[in-house]
Amino acid sequence: MRRAAITAVGAYLPPRRLTNADLEKLVDTSDEWILERTGIRERRILGRGKGSAYMAIKAAEEALQKRQIDPAEIDLVIVATVTPEHPFPATANIVANAIGAHRAWGFDVEAACSSFLYALSSAADSIVAGRVQKALVIGSDKMSAIIDYTDRATCVIFGDGAGAVLLEPTDEEVGIMDYHHQADGSGCAFLHMKAGGSVLPPSLRTVRNRLHYVYQEGRQVFKHAVVQMAAASEALMKKHGLTADDIAFFVPHQANRRIIEAAAQRLGLPMEKVMLNIDRYGNTTSATLPLCLYDYESQLKKGDNLILATFGGGFTWGALWLRWAY
Ligand code: UT7
């Protein structure tokens, strides 16, 4: 059977660090609170004048360079992002042009923190269908562009970054094996951006009332995230007869260390089998999963079973079973 396998991973993290000590100077918070309640020590900030395409291009170029692939061989570019370079056109088109993927078509996927997993699933299906040979799936978010640095409940969590994977077809029993995704639009109330869309376009009033930032009711999101990330992963594992012993790594969306620990516990997975980098980058939304794969790449072996899981605004959530291909 033809499958889609990840054959290279690239990443980009802006050099500027925003530490908990820096945030103590901006809002009424403490290093102790942030570390204990979220597990985050620092996050990266891209700065003015550059957007999500800048980071996506760097991550994509690294993935291509690692596999020595000519960008003209790429058929499809999908950028997962909630902070596109512009409302339109798609950031994917800007990225494809900049990296020299002149034969490719592409588009953006926006499903809040689940964007990357949904984009990866869609690209894999196109490869399995035989319509695409080589695809780039990139998660890139400049969260600092939509975060209110006077709101202590959200500004301590998010950071900027990008990760990219190259997908190619394989006849071996590796690659994306299956996925289980779900969405529930009633969750919109708890995590969204109030203005800037078609229902409330930008105006002096929306800017004055700070409506162009992430609005989150953290406790509600937390509760659903633990339950649904674990449930989707469990459903997928059960369907394929996979036990905790069969899993080399659990790769969870990095939103809060306590969510990750609770989900892993529900799955019976020890923390040694859980990919974690939230302490260094915070929640980079669409970039968390490829950044985990990037950071743990040297520990992975061909045939390793990974369960990727996510939860985010929408609500959207899902899990994907991946057999590492190299
Ligand atoms: O990636 C997309 C999905 N997002 C998530 O999965 C995020 C899910 N939610 C969370 O990670 C957590 O809910 C937060 C980290 C956002 C908040 O942690 P919490 O333990 O749920 O805190 P809370 O909102 O229940 O607030 C507890 C207290 C409140 O004070 P009172 O009312 O008890 O006096 C907050 O005002 O902590 C206060 N608080 C803070 N204190 C110091 C909230 N933020 C801060 C802060 N520093 N930064």
Ligand 1: centre distance to CA 218 (Å): 6
Any idea which fold 3-173 has?
A: Peroxisomal Thiolase; Chain A, domain 1 (3.40.47)
Contact between residue 101 and residue 72 where contact means Cβ atoms under 8 Å apart? yes
**Model confidence over 44-92: pLDDT tens digits?**
999 999 999 999 999 999 999 999 999 999 999 999 999 999 999 999 9
Q: What confidence score (pLDDT) does residue 8 get? A: 98
Burial class (CB in 10 A: 0-12, 13-18, 19+), 93: buried
Q: What percent of the chain has pLDDT over 70?
A: 100
Q: What confidence score (pLDDT) does residue 104 get? A: 98
Q: What confidence score (pLDDT) does residue 258 get? A: 98
Scanning the structure block, which residue is given the tokens 């989150």?
216
Q: What confidence score (pLDDT) does residue 197 get? A: 96
Contact between residue 159 and residue 284 where contact means Cβ atoms under 8 Å apart? yes
- Half-sphere exposure at residue 164, Cβ-oriented, CA atoms within 13 angstroms: 32
The CATH superfamily assigned to 177-323 is: Thiolase/Chalcone synthase (3.40.47.10)
What are the sequence ranges of the domains in the chain? 3-173, 177-323
Q: What are phi and psi of 106, to 5 degrees?
A: -175, 170
Q: What confidence score (pLDDT) does residue 261 get? A: 98
**Model confidence over 12-49: pLDDT tens digits?**
999 999 999 999 999 999 999 999 999 999 999 999 99
Mean pLDDT for the chain overall: 98
Q: What confidence score (pLDDT) does residue 84 get? A: 98
List all residues 6 or more positions away from 199 whose beta carbon is below 8 Å from its beta carbon. Answer: none
- Each residue of 222-249: b (16+ CB within 10 Å) or e? bebbbebbbbbbbebbeeeebeeeebbb
- Output the CA angle 76-59-303, nearest 5 degrees: 75
Q: What confidence score (pLDDT) does residue 6 get? A: 98
**Model confidence over 214-262: pLDDT tens digits?**
999 999 999 999 999 999 999 999 999 999 999 999 999 999 999 999 9
Ligand 1: centre distance to CA 153 (Å): 5
Strand partners, 164: 10, 138
Instruction: Give dist(CA 172, CA 273) in Å, integer.
Output: 25
Q: Do domains 3-173 and 177-323 have the same CATH topology?
A: yes
Ligand 1 cavity residues, CB under 6 Å: 29, 33-34, 37-38, 113, 152-153, 156-157, 218-219, 221-222, 225, 255-256, 259, 283, 312
Q: What confidence score (pLDDT) does residue 89 get? A: 97
Give the pLDDT mean for 123-139: 98
Ligand 1: centre distance to CA 33 (Å): 9
List all residues 6 or more positions away from 228 whose beta carbon is below 8 Å from its beta carbon. Answer: 182, 311, 315, 317
Q: What confidence score (pLDDT) does residue 218 get? A: 95
**Given the residues 20, 253, 256, 292, the one annotated as active site:** 253
**Model confidence over 167-198: pLDDT tens digits?**
999 999 999 999 999 999 999 999 999 999 99
- Identify whether 209 is a catalytic site residue: no
- Half-sphere exposure at residue 231, Cβ-oriented, CA atoms within 13 angstroms: 11
